[in-house]
Amino acid sequence: MKLRTKIVIVILQIALVPWMVGGAIAYTSAKEQIRAKTYADLDAFADIQKNRLQDTLQNKLDILHLLSTSPWVIATVHEYNARPSTTSRREMQEIIEAPGKTLGIVKTFIVANNGDVVASTDSAMLGMNVKDEEYFKLGSQADEESILKKDANGIILHYLAGPLISDGRTEGVMVVVTDAEDIVSISQDYTGLGNTGETLLVKRNSEGDALFLTPTRFNPDAALSLVVASGRLDVPAVQAVAGKEAVFANLVDYRGVSVSAATRYLPDAGWGIVVKVNQSEALAPIEKLEELFFFIIAMTGMLMAIIGISVSRSITDPIHELTLLADKVAAGSLQQEIAVVTKDEVGMLATAFNSMVLRLREAYSMLESKVSERTKELVERTQEARNSERAALNIASDLKDEEEKLAEEKAKAEALANDLKKFKLALDNASDQVYITDPEGIMLYANAAIEKVSGYKPEEAIGKKAGALWKTPMPLPYYQKLWHTIKVEKKVFLGEIQNRRKNGQLYTAMLNISPVVNAEGEVIFFVGLERDITREKEIDEAKSEFISLASHQMRTPLTSINWYTEMLLGGDAGKLTKKQADYFEAIYAAGQQMNEIIKSFLHILRLETGTLVMKPVSVDLTTIMQSILKELHLEIKKKSLHVTEHYPKKTPSLVIDQEIVRVVLQNIVSNAAKYTPEKGDLVVSVESVSKGAVFAGKTAKHESLAVSVQDTGIGIAEKDSATIFSKFFRSEDAKRWDPNGNGLGLYMTKKMVDMLGGNIWFVSEAGKGTTFHVLLPVEKKK
């Protein structure tokens, strides 16, 4: 159980137990006092009621007694009994009428011993016999008696009856009837009896049971009708008529309700008096007291609990705080301190705790610093040891690396040496001369072939400048270009060169010089390679000469053949038959074709041998194009081709070799006509293109003239486009379309355009058509 709970329980015990004991005693005594007072009040009230009723009754009986014992009345009644006369009767009448209606008297009458009413204030009663009436019987016996009786209207009347005695002899009975209101009002006076209290007036009836004489508070018809059996001793009315004068704490009344009651008895009248009140009302103060008692207990309990909790808090909170702190300290947090608020034992404990934590903190920090010192030392030592170990390991691994590297280097060097040996062997035995120079051209190495080609031994060549060695006859610009290429541009130089052998003989070589650069891009060597092509050159020249000769030789007979065929066709030798004419036509065409081939051969020969000499003159492309179309008009007409021409208003003149440009244009226009089916379209155009402008997808590098020839022919397949300008190339489609062709036209054309410094290209779609474009620079080209 928690300390706080315990403290609360103890406080509740200390505070509540004595209070409860004292309270219980006070409560019990108060309860008893209330009860006793209730009973005493009932008892006193019963006495009061008894006295009131007794007094009322006595007063009434006294009046009767005054009347019945009056000597005048007795003498008159005696006189009447002795000698009944109207006079005596009248006298009696006068006497009884004397009191009148005072004191609540309703009527008065005198009854003779035989029961006859002899005088009455109620004339109706005169002559009546009442000998059986109870009041007559009672009145004739001895003292004055009284009874309550209802009249014909149900109104309760009080009959007072007493004997009229003369000389010891009863002369008759005097009856005074009064209203019973005084008695009823006494019984109905509930003053001081609360809501349920009442006074009952009861009398024994002939059966001995208790008969209620007046109306009760809860039963207005009870008078002279309500009866409680004599056996019901638990009913106070029965006790009262039995003559008991006592207080009863717990009985049951005529309604069956629990009541507290006090009983009285009037022996003269035989009346019992009950003063009673419902037990619930009688004991209501006790219940209230009870409620108050428990309320106070509950309130006190609560108050005590609150006080207990706050007291226990004031005690346990610092302790709780202390406990929490102790837990934290135990968990290692030494930065905690408790705020000392009180000066009591808890405060002292907190102070002691704080100083303990302080000491602990000091001890701890001392321990920590020592531990960290030691740890630092240890780390340093470990680090040292580790460093030494690492150094040792590094040295070992370095040694190993070094060893490996050495072995590797050795192997590499050996391999290199081997390679070099092989390389040298290969170079030494190569048929081309190979040499290596420094960046200034001083020979560092030369292979054996150098002797074979130039006549110099390698050792003669090494250490000398290459140019000086061969006493080369090449013009200066050639050398300037060579040096620029290999030294400035650091590129390979390729070209033919003429050198002089040791014996002074000239030879032609194909020269290839490559610069070797280091990582910084500086030239460290040049490697030169020379192949002696003197012999090949001689053979080529012989070939060309032969072709040239052969072509020229063939041209003369061919010209004769053509000339004579023309004459025969012209009818110079008489009219030809149709068949003859056809055959001559074929001969003529073949001759023309042959002529073309020879022309082409000669052109190509000149182009390839570089012997084509250009004679630039001012030409007009429009005029050339128009003349070419004119030449082709027979074929165009034959195939019904539709030709469209576009020329500039004023074509800028071009300084160019007229023959070459004509061959170029003639080739592309004749191809367009050749590879276009009947009724096709040809579009020919000439236009100026300024420098930098884009023409048919190509940027003109110079001020130019452009020629385009567009056809709707068979087109050039994608796969053929790369080889179209090759020597002897003819596409499969072209071969099928026209077997007559040699595949030299475009080859020649391309070479010529290149020579003119221009550009030729085409755009084509197989089966749809082709456009050839030629771009020629306007300015004069050397």
Q: How far is the CB of 720 from ligand ADP (least distance, A)?
A: 7
CB-nearer residue toward ligand ADP: 714 or 760: 714
Residue 466 or residue 746: which is nearer to ligand ADP going by CB? 746
Q: Is 731 in the site for ligand ADP (CB under 6 A)?
A: yes
Cα dihedral 57, 58, 64, 67, rounded to 10, equals -160
Element containing residue 327 per DSSP (H, E): helix 284-330
| Interaction mask 613-652, ligand ADP, x per CB under 6 A | ----------------------------------------
Cα 171 to Cα 76: distance, rounded to the nearest angstrom: 10
How near is the Cβ of 578 to ligand ADP at its closest, in Å? Answer: 30
Which residues sit opposite 179 in a β-bridge? 157
Residue closer to ligand ADP, measured from CB, 140 or 600 = 600
Q: How far apart are CA 442 and CA 438, in angstroms?
A: 5
Q: Pick one of 190, 584, 647, 729: the residue that binds ligand ADP (CB under 6 A).
A: 729
CB of 738 to ligand ADP, least distance (A): 8
Spatial strand order of the sheet with 227-228 comes to 227-228, 210-212, 198-204, 271-278, 258-266, 247-252
Separation CA 120–CA 113 (nearest Å): 15
Q: Could you count the other beta carbons within 10 Å of the beta carbon of residue 46?
A: 23
Site string for ligand ADP, 687-716 (x = CB under 6 A): ------------------------x-xxxx
Please tell me the total number of residues recorded for the chain in this structure. Answer: 782
Distance between the two ends of the chain, CA-based, in angstroms?
A: 123
Q: Which is nearer to ligand ADP, 529 or 744 (CB)?
A: 744
Residue with Cβ nearer ligand ADP (68 or 770): 770
Taking the least distance from each CB to ligand ADP, the nearer of 437 and 749 is 749
Count CB neighbours of 377 within 10 A. Answer: 10
Q: How far is the CB of 641 from ligand ADP (least distance, A)?
A: 12
Q: Out of 672, 682, 689, 705, point to the residue binding ligand ADP (CB under 6 A).
A: 672
For residues 348 and 444, give the distance between their C-alpha atoms in angstroms, rounded to a whole number: 106
Q: How many C-beta neighbours within 10 Å does residue 605 have? A: 17
Smallest gap from Cβ 747 to ligand ADP, in A, equals: 6
Q: Which stretch binds ligand ADP (CB under 6 A): 469-477, 500-508, 592-600, 735-743?
A: 735-743
Q: Does 669 bind ligand ADP (CB under 6 A)?
A: no
- Backbone φ, ψ for residue 83 (5° rounding): -135, 95
Closer by beta carbon to ligand ADP, 110 or else 760: 760
Q: Which stretch binds ligand ADP (CB under 6 A): 31-39, 449-457, 532-540, 666-674?
A: 666-674
Listed ranges 201-209, 445-453, 561-569, 742-750: which one lies at the site for ligand ADP (CB under 6 A): 742-750
579: buried, middle or exposed (CB in 10 Å: 19+, 13-18, 0-12)? exposed
Residue indicated by tokens 């004769």: 560
Q: Using CB under 6 A, which of 301, 741, 761, 781 touches ligand ADP?
A: 741
Task: Return the number of the residue (212 or 675) whose C-beta is nearest ligand ADP.
Answer: 675
Region near ligand ADP per CB under 6 A, out of 136-144, 529-537, 601-609, 739-747: 739-747
- Our CB check for ligand ADP shows the closer of 30 and 663 to be 663
Nearer to ligand ADP, 636 or 744 (CB): 744
How crowded is the C-beta side of 358, counted as CA atoms within 13 Å?
Answer: 7
Say which residues have a Cβ less than 8 Å from residue 108's Cβ, sequence separation at least 6.
67, 96, 97, 99, 120, 121, 174, 175, 176, 177
Least distance to ligand ADP from the beta carbon of 766, Å?
Answer: 9
Q: What is the nearest approach in angstroms of ligand ADP to the Cβ of residue 639?
A: 13
**Residue 675 is a binding residue for ligand ADP (CB under 6 A):** yes
Q: How far is CA 226 from the centre of its chain?
A: 90
Of 514-533, binders to ligand ADP (CB under 6 A) are none
Task: Please state whether beta strands 642-646 and 681-689 pair in parallel, antiparallel, or not at all (unpaired).
Answer: parallel
Per DSSP (E only), the strands in 269-425 are 271-278
Backbone angles phi, psi at 146, to 5 degrees: -140, 150
- For the bound state, the minimum distance from the C-beta of residue 677 to ligand ADP, rounded and expressed in Å, comes to 11
Number of other CB atoms surrounding residue 590 within 10 Å: 15
How many positions of this chain bind ligand ADP (CB under 6 A)?
22
Shortest distance (Å) from residue 548 CB to ligand ADP: 21
For 277, phi then psi, to 5°, come to -145, 150
680 binds ligand ADP (CB under 6 A): no
Residue 569 or 607 having the CB closest to ligand ADP: 607
Shortest Å distance, C-beta 671 to ligand ADP: 3
Q: How far apart are CA 72 and CA 77, in angstroms?
A: 9
The single residue among 745, 758, 775, 778 that binds ligand ADP, judged by CB under 6 A, is 745
Asked if 744 is part of the footprint of ligand ADP (rule: CB under 6 A), the reply reads yes
Write the single-letter amino acid at 508: T
**CB-wise, 239 or 764, nearer to ligand ADP?**
764
Give the shortest CB-777-to-ligand ADP separation in angstroms: 24
User: Measured from the CB of residue 663, what is the shortest distance to ligand ADP in angstroms?
Assistant: 11
| Gap between the Cα atoms of 132 and 507, Å rounded | 203
Out of 52, 158, 276, 730, which residue is the one contacting ligand ADP (CB under 6 A)? Answer: 730
Give the count of alpha carbons within 13 A of 593, CB side only: 10
Binder among 671, 704, 712, 759 for ligand ADP (CB under 6 A): 671
CB-nearer residue toward ligand ADP: 357 or 686: 686
| Calpha distance 183→49 (Å, rounded) | 10
**Which residue has the closest beta carbon to ligand ADP?**
745
Handedness of CA 730, 736, 737, 739 (dihedral sign): positive
Q: Which is nearer to ligand ADP, 330 or 722 (CB)?
A: 722
91 versus 720: smaller Cβ distance to ligand ADP: 720
Kindly state whether residue 734 participates in binding ligand ADP, applying the rule CB under 6 A.
yes
743 binds ligand ADP (CB under 6 A): yes
Should residue 197 be labelled a site residue for ligand ADP when binding is judged by CB under 6 A?
no
Q: What is the DSSP string of 478-540?
A: HHHHHHIIIIIS---EEEEEEEE-TTS-EEEEEEEEEEEE-TTS-EEEEEEEEEE-HHHHHHH
Say whether residue 663 binds ligand ADP (CB under 6 A).
Answer: no
At 330, which amino acid appears? A
CB of 762 to ligand ADP, least distance (A): 8
Alpha-carbon distances, residue 37 vs 28, 122, 264, 773 (angstroms): 14, 50, 18, 148
Q: Do the Cβ atoms of 110 and 120 come closer than 8 Å?
A: yes
CB nearer to ligand ADP: give 84 or 767: 767
Q: Which is nearer to ligand ADP, 745 or 758 (CB)?
A: 745
State how far the Cα of 441 lies from the Cα of 436, in Å rounded to an integer: 8
Residue 437 near residue 514 (C-beta atoms within 8 A) = no
| Least distance from ligand ADP to the Cβ atom of residue 547, Å | 19
Shortest gap between Cβ of 724 and ligand ADP (angstroms)? 5
Q: 176 - beta bridge partners?
A: 108, 160
Q: Does 724 bind ligand ADP (CB under 6 A)?
A: yes
Give the integer Cα–Cα distance in Å for 697 and 685: 16
Told to check if 761 binds ligand ADP by CB under 6 A, we report: no
Give the C-alpha distances (Å, rounded to integers) separating 410 from 405, 419, 422: 8, 14, 18
Residues within the interface to ligand ADP (CB under 6 A) = 667, 671-672, 675, 711, 713-716, 724, 729-731, 734, 741-747, 770
